[in-house]
Amino acid sequence: MMEKSRRSFLKVAGIAAIGLGASPAINFASSDSRGTAHAVKSKNKEALHARRWGMVIDTGKITDEIAKSVSKACHKAHNVPDFNIKVDEKKYPHTRPVNHKQEVKWIWEEHFDNAFPDKEDEFLAEKFHGLPFLVTCNHCKHAPCVRACPTQATFKREDGIVMMDYHRCIGCRFCMAACPFGSRSFNFRDPRPFIKKISPNYPTRTKGVVEKCDFCAERLAKGKLPHCVGASKGAIVVGDLEDPKSEIRGLLNEHYTIRRKQSLGTEPSVYYIM
């Protein structure tokens, strides 16, 4: 008995020693996929960094047309389903009719009263009435969705971006109740039949998980600016809020800006030039 347990101890210890010896090699091999110390060092040199990413939307420059192309560019690149398209019956037979109230959207147009319900004003300057206001995730500094998520599937990165892990999300939708901006969507059904052309640069989602704007973190990592910036014809600027010399801080210095529902203390990172 004694002999046997000693032998098995040695066996385990031996395996453990091999494991220890091999671990640097394993870490090296996996450095581009896992968040190990090596991975940090081998980050893409072109990647864009910020201490806290923020966005400024110049409302005066946003026309209906621009707003639509911004949404379209974002939704297309991120494989956001469009419930208005005709489903390919051959590929997805027996697709049930859609409920448009269960739609998914990342960035879209709202009227002033809906984007800023606490600033509702019966004598609001007329020019604001018809204007489209683009709304999206605010990547709040004190994000209530991050606080509410029971699995950390919604989490905050060091650079301020509020991210989603679609593979960890259990679909409890606590984050949707927590978000004061209605920025989150739930996949009530499999979104794939409603994606016209799947973009290979971003994962499609499965049914039962929540999703939202991720500030194009996947593009920043490759040194590219978010899709909405490109499609906005200069109306949307992103940059480092913590850097006093950044373009975005310059804009905030020059213009009067507002944020959505500031009184709630979530500290949105999306500013609107009025």
Partner 1 sequence: MLEIAIKGSKNYWLWIVFLLAVMGAGAVVYLDQFTNGLMITGMSRDVSWGFYIANFTFLVGVAAGGVMVVIPYYLHDYEKFHRITILGEFLAVASLIMCLLFIIVDLGQPTRALNVLLYPTPHSMLFYDMIVLNGYLFLNIVVGWKVLEAERNQVEPAWWTKPLVYLSIPFAIGIHTVTAYLYCGLPGRGFWLTAILAPRFLASAFAAGPAFLIILCYIIRKFTKFDPGWEAMQTLSKIVCYAIITNLFFFLCEIFVSYYSNIPAHKAHVQYLLFGYHGYTALVPWMWTSLTLMTTGAILLLIPKLRNNHTLLPITCAMIVFGAWIDKGLGMISGGFVPSPLHHVTEYSPTGPEVMIALGVYATGFFVLTILYKLATQVKEEVRG
Residues of this chain that bind partner 1 (CB under 8 A):
96, 99, 101-105, 110, 113-115, 117-118, 120, 135, 144, 147-153, 168-174, 176-182, 185-190, 206-210, 261, 264-266
* Residue (115 or 273) nearer to partner 1, CB: 115
When the beta carbons of 24 and 117 are compared against partner 1, the nearer one is: 117
Distance of closest approach, residue 144 Cβ to partner 1, in angstroms:
6
Let me know: does 241 contact 53? Beta carbons within 8 Å.
Answer: yes
In the complex, the smallest distance separating the C-beta of residue 132 from partner 1, rounded to whole angstroms, is 14
Write down the least CB distance from residue 34 to partner 1, Å.
17
**132 versus 144: smaller Cβ distance to partner 1:** 144
Q: Residue 259 CB, nearest distance to partner 1 (Å)?
A: 13
Q: What span, in angstroms and rounded, lies between the C-alpha atoms of 54 and 257? A: 13
Distance of closest approach, residue 267 Cβ to partner 1, in angstroms: 11
Give the residue with the Cβ less far from partner 1, 105 or 219: 105
Q: Which residue, 138 or 246, is less far from partner 1 as judged by CB?
A: 138
> Smallest distance, Å, CB 112 to partner 1?
11
What distance, in Å, lies between the first and last C-alpha atoms of the chain? 81
Is the CB of 174 or the CB of 272 nearer to partner 1?
A: 174
